[in-house]
């Protein structure tokens, strides 16, 4: 007679299986947890990275991002292209130390911080200094929260490109320098001070900016270390591979990005890989008009007439009224609260930009005038007729800028006084 025996008939067999079954169950649970966390981190990172790269008239841009394929999870790479005033653009790439959902969340916080600081029109070295302060505060805050994984620092490269001068000003915090590819395919790397990683330098090592004039039609490649360093390749070999790939500037940016990814070692990446590739553009001289002005009060009328004539040449007669108001207020403020020399510049690109430079250091601000006040409404009116406005530090002074949409309506439709009346009561700034 055949008798079928079960594990319950053999207690020692049942007991021997328990550790193995427990181990298999723990492994399955661990694999499931890893898959869930990786999926969550990837989804978070996709939502935090830019969906479109808006280079405006300054650059054409393309990018690639490849997440790490390790048990530690995806990393904290990020990149961005941020439109700035005066047709300029900021280019950003960074890498948060660590992997997993915490690194992805920290990346999102830093990307938001960079965009906020960029809106203040800070120079690259000053922006990194403020960002370093922010990261050190995050480290301190997370250290006080036991359930929160601490921020371990980050690296970052921040560059500002001006399509009028073709100058690119850049600074880095513990990051790799960008590659510059001229129209002939010659690849160089600027001599850029490395700087301390964000959050790890205690604020003792200043960040330094370098200004580079780029040949017309050049390419800039910003990347993270995962692109040039791996378990199978040291960084020198990775740099040589990248140089060979990028030395074909006649190809499209998308094709170059694809070639860079295809040139990677076959093994799955142990770190995130990010590449931001841009082709610079140059603003045509016919899109720019500038004039040097005296500090005599009568120059306000002259500046207004110069601006109106230029807008007529550009076919922007519908913006004459608002632009005359803007020019009147900005030039008047420069005369009263700034110092000579004064320079007026108009830029026609995706928007109409009006800039007034003076040698003063006082920062303009909108005043909320009372009904009985005769003055103090100038910048308020400028804000009402403009798309946005602001100011930034310039060599030996400051620059106040105002942007208008090219299809904007004239000032009268906003219920504002014409510029002649504005001259009678010029704006005051504190």
Q: What is the pLDDT of residue 383?
A: 86
What distance in Å separates the CA atoms of residue 93 and residue 235, rounded to the nearest whole number? 18
Q: What is the pLDDT of residue 83?
A: 96
Hey, what are 198's tokens? 């964000």
Q: What is the pLDDT of residue 339?
A: 86
What distance in Å separates the CA atoms of residue 178 and residue 187, rounded to the nearest whole number? 10
CATH of domain 285-424: 3.30.565.10
Mean pLDDT for the stretch of residues 199-213: 87
Q: Where in the chain is the domain with CATH 3.60.40.10?
A: 30-280
Q: What is the pLDDT of residue 5?
A: 43
Hey, what are 113's tokens? 């911080």
Residue 206 above 70 pLDDT? yes
**Distance linking the first and last C-alpha atoms of the chain:** 106
pTM of the predicted protein model: 0.82
Kindly list the distances between the CA atom of residue 327 and the CA atoms of 61, 392, 426, in Å, as whole numbers in the listed order.
Answer: 34, 17, 11
Residue 16 above 60 pLDDT? no
What distance in Å separates the CA atoms of residue 340 and residue 33, rounded to the nearest whole number? 65
Are the C-beta atoms of residues 7 and 14 closer than 8 Å to each other? yes
What superfamily would CATH give domain 30-280? PPM-type phosphatase domain (3.60.40.10)
Q: Where in the chain is the domain with CATH 3.30.565.10?
A: 285-424
Q: What is the pLDDT of residue 28?
A: 47
CA-wise closest residue to 64 among 227, 306, 233, 299 = 227
Q: What is the pLDDT of residue 144?
A: 60
Q: What is the pLDDT of residue 374?
A: 47
Q: What is the pLDDT of residue 138?
A: 82
Are the C-beta atoms of residues 92 and 110 closer than 8 Å to each other? no
Instruction: List, for residues 336-354, the tens digit of each pLDDT value.
Output: 888 889 999 999 999 999 9
Instruction: List, for residues 375-388, the tens digit of each pLDDT value.
Output: 556 787 898 889 99
């Amino acid at each position: 007679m055949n008798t079928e025996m079960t594990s319950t008939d053999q207690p020692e067999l049942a007991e021997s299986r328990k550790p193995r079954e427990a181990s298999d169950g723990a492994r399955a649970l661990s694999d499931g947890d890893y898959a869930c966390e990786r999926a969550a981190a990837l989804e978070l990172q996709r939502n935090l990275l830019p969906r479109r790269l808006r280079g405006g008239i300054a650059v054409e841009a393309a990018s690639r991002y490849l997440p790490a394929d390790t048990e530690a999870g995806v990393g904290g790479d990020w990149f961005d292209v941020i439109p700035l005033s005066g047709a300029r653009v900021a280019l950003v790439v960074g890498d948060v130390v660590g992997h997993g959902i915490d690194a992805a969340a920290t990346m999102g916080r830093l990307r938001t911080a960079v965009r906020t600081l960029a809106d203040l029109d800070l120079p690259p070295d000053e922006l990194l200094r403020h960002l370093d302060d922010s990261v050190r505060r995050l480290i301190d805050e997370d250290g006080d929260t036991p359930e929160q994984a601490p921020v371990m620092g980050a690296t970052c490269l921040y560059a500002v490109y001006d399509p009028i001068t073709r100058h690119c000003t850049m600074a880095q915090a513990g990051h790799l320098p960008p590659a510059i590819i001229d129209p002939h395919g010659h690849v160089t790397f600027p001599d850029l001070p490395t700087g301390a990683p964000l959050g790890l330098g205690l604020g003792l090592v200043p960040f330094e900016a370098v200004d580079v004039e780029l040949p017309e039609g050049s390419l800039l490649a910003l990347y993270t270390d995962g692109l040039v360093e791996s378990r199978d390749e040291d960084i020198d070999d990775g740099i040589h591979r990248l140089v060979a790939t990028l030395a074909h500037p006649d190809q499209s940016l998308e094709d170059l990005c694809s070639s860079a990814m295809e040139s990677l070692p076959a093994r799955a990446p142990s770190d995130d890989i990010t590449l931001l590739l841009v082709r610079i553009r140059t603003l045509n001289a016919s899109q720019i008009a500038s004039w040097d002005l005296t500090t005599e009060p009568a120059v306000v009328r002259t500046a207004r007439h110069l601006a109106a004539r230029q807008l007529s040449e550009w076919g922007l007669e519908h913006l004459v009224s608002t632009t005359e108001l803007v020019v009147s207020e900005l030039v008047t403020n420069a005369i009263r609260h700034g110092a000579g020399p004064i320079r007026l510049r108009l830029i026609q690109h995706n928007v109409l930009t009006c800039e007034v430079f003076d040698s003063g250091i006082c920062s303009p601000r909108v005043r909320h005038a009372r009904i009985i006040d005769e003055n103090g409404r100038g910048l308020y009116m400028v804000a009402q007729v403009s798309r946005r406005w602001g100011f930034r530090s310039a060599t030996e002074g400051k620059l106040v800028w105002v942007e208008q949409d090219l299809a904007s309506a004239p000032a009268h439709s906003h219920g504002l006084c014409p510029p002649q009346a504005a001259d009678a009561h010029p704006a005051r700034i504190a």
